[in-house]
Amino acid sequence: MDEHLLEVRHLKKYFRTGKNQVQKAVDDVSFYVRKGETLGIVGESGCGKTTCGRTCMGIYEATEGEVLYKGMRVGSLRGKEKRRFTKEVQMIFQDPYASLDPRMKVGDIIAEGMLAHNMAGNGRECMEKVEELLAAVGLSGGHRDRYVHEFSGGQRQRIGIARSLAVEPELIVCDEPISALDVSVQAQIVNLLMTLQEERGLTYMFIAHDLSMVRYISDRVAVMYLGKIVEIAPSGLLYNNPKHPYTRALLSAVPIPDPKAQAERKRFSLRGERTSPANPGSGCRFCGRCDEATDICAQEEPMLREVEKGHFAACHLYKEESASAGPDNGQAGAKGGNAG
Ligand code: SF4
């Protein structure tokens, strides 16, 4: 479980939004994704999590830094290597309806990738594979001759998953795959993704703003705020002992099913307005909203530090766990970056 399928090093993605204005959507983040694990990436909308996922996929070109897939620089892939990358790394989108061609039958949508990568064999073999994939995502073979508009939101997301599975990927970037679905359907899709991961040895980057579902599916979770990773840790550590004030505020808004525990829970509020990503200032980006801010917070940007084993947070409240454990931690990132 220790092979790094994906390594992101000091990644920046800036968008020009006006003559002299730049939006720093992703601003120096470093992390890795181990083969076979799920890395959850959470944060409010506009925090840069989707941009980060899309830059990892090569959809956006990085402004600075690099994304390595199996050690290969994603931005420089050409020819055979690029084809291999586009086959092995797939994406599942938030809005399955917008990402599936309404004029195509479901069977053709699923077969499209297999045909493009010469994985389909003859027509009959291809349709057998399509039926297998439909069964794997909980649909029936008969669904292959129908059109997308005939399906519910959850079924459409199952079709989207079948389409990405068709090319036998290794890494799937799931970009808010459940946020457009009803809560009961969300759990079904998350369970399906977990089953498929176990059966097929898949690796996921799971981008979401719903912290409760992310906990359920993720081995590790990274919390993003205004283009930065502010905390990253194994799920259990992050949810049971959140370090960053922003993570604590996000978690305290997640309802607990036990009414007694819910009533006794300490609430952390998010006050003030979010800083503009175009002009985040020199200190901590969370400073204007943080109840625990001190003088240094407005002056100095906190670096991501290991505050307990395997648990990194970017906050002046914490000191390094040990001299040997920096953001690098022998994995990714270096001075000035985020890691985990
Ligand atoms: Fe709050 Fe300061 Fe920590 Fe930023 S560095 S999260 S302002 S305590």
Q: Which atom of ligand 1 is nearest to the CA of 297?
A: 2
Residue 330 is predicted with a pLDDT of 36
- Provide the percentage of residues in the chain whose pLDDT is more than 90: 71
At position 101, the amino acid (one-letter code) is: D
Quick check: 220 pLDDT over 90?
yes
Mean pLDDT of 97-111: 92
Tokens 């309806």 belong to 97
Tokens 């994704």 belong to 33
- 101 Cβ contact partners less than 8 Å away, ≥ 6 residues apart: 109, 148
CB-based pocket (< 6 A), ligand 1? 244-245, 284, 286-287, 290, 292-293, 297, 302, 315-317
At position 155, the amino acid (one-letter code) is: Q
Q: How far is the CA of 2 from the centre of ligand 1 (A)?
A: 32
Among 183, 185, 184, smallest CA distance to 161 is for 185
Which pTM does this prediction carry?
A: 0.89
Q: Which atom of ligand 1 is nearest to the CA of 294?
A: 2
Quick check: 324 pLDDT over 50?
no
C-alpha to C-alpha distance for 110 and 160, rounded to whole angstroms: 8
For 252-306, what is each residue's pLDDT tens digit? 877 777 777 767 776 666 766 666 666 767 899 999 899 899 999 999 999 999 9
Residue 258 is predicted with a pLDDT of 72
Q: How far is the CA of 176 from the centre of ligand 1 (A)?
A: 27
Helix intervals (H) in the chain:
49-56, 79-88, 96-99, 106-116, 123-136, 153-165, 183-200, 211-217, 235-240, 245-252, 259-264, 295-299
Grade residue 333 by pLDDT with cuts at 50, 70 and 90: very low
At position 235, the amino acid (one-letter code) is: S
Query: At what angle are helices 106-116 and 153-165 packed, to 10 degrees?
Result: 20
- Strands 171-175 and 203-208, by their bridges, are parallel
Smallest CA separation from ligand 1 atom 8, residue: 293
Q: How far is the CA of 227 from the centre of ligand 1 (A)?
A: 16
CA–CA distance from 44 to each of 52, 157, 223, 249 (Å)?
14, 22, 9, 12
For 113-147, what is each residue's pLDDT tens digit? 999 998 987 888 899 999 999 999 999 989 999 99
Helix intervals (H) in 137-182:
153-165
Q: How far is the CA of 242 from the centre of ligand 1 (A)?
A: 13
State the chain's mean pLDDT as an integer.
88
